[in-house]
Amino acid sequence: MRKIILLASLLGLSFILAACGTSGEQKEPSKDSQKSEKYTYEYYEVLNNGSEDTPNVEIKYKDKNGKSHLQKTDLEHVYEHILNDGNKKPYIIKDGKKIHVYRPPYMIYGDDDIEGQVTAKDEVSKE
């Protein structure tokens, strides 16, 4: 009896963990919109004038002709993607009602090497 209870609890636990595993998937835009609906990113801001459940978002972007557009929607339709490559330009992709924002991280910490010789505590010269 003890083995049956242990087996049932293990099966139940594995079922619960398997069901929770797919909730963190990253949503991606459709293949068609990735090719045709890509725009230059200007800014993206979560506004303070929406409800607590679905805050409003303001997104400004440039189309292929260089004309700026301002899109207001709620956060439910916006998917944010962080670009790993710091040299890549930010952009947005519109996929129907969904808007995918591809942007660099807010803060990048550099670990660049510094060469030089310290001559005083407040001055560094590079040779």
pLDDT, tens digit, 9 for 90 and up, residues 15-36 = 777 666 554 455 777 766 666 7
Tens digits of per-residue pLDDT, 51-74?
A: 777 788 899 999 888 899 998 888
Residues 6+ apart with CB under 8 A from 68: 42, 60, 61, 62
The model's confidence at residue 109, banded by pLDDT at 50, 70 and 90, is low
Query: Cα separation of 106 and 104, whole Å?
Result: 6
Q: Is residue 116 pLDDT above 70, yes or no?
A: yes
Tell me the DSSP string of the chain.
-HHHHHHHHHHHHHHHHHHHTTTTPPP---HHHHHHSEEEEEEEEE-SSS-SSS-EEEEEEE-TTS-EEEEEEEGGGEEEEE-S-TTSPPEEEEETTEEEEEE--S----------EEEETTEEE--
Q: What is the pLDDT of residue 106?
A: 77
Q: What is the enclosing helix (H) or strand (E) of 102?
A: strand 98-103
Q: What is the average pLDDT value for the chain, to the nearest integer?
A: 79
Q: Which amino acid is at 63?
A: D
Tokens 């709620």 correspond to 74
Q: What is the pLDDT of residue 35?
A: 67
Q: What is the pLDDT of residue 97?
A: 85
Query: Cα separation of 30 and 89, whole Å?
Result: 20
Q: What is the pLDDT of residue 53?
A: 78
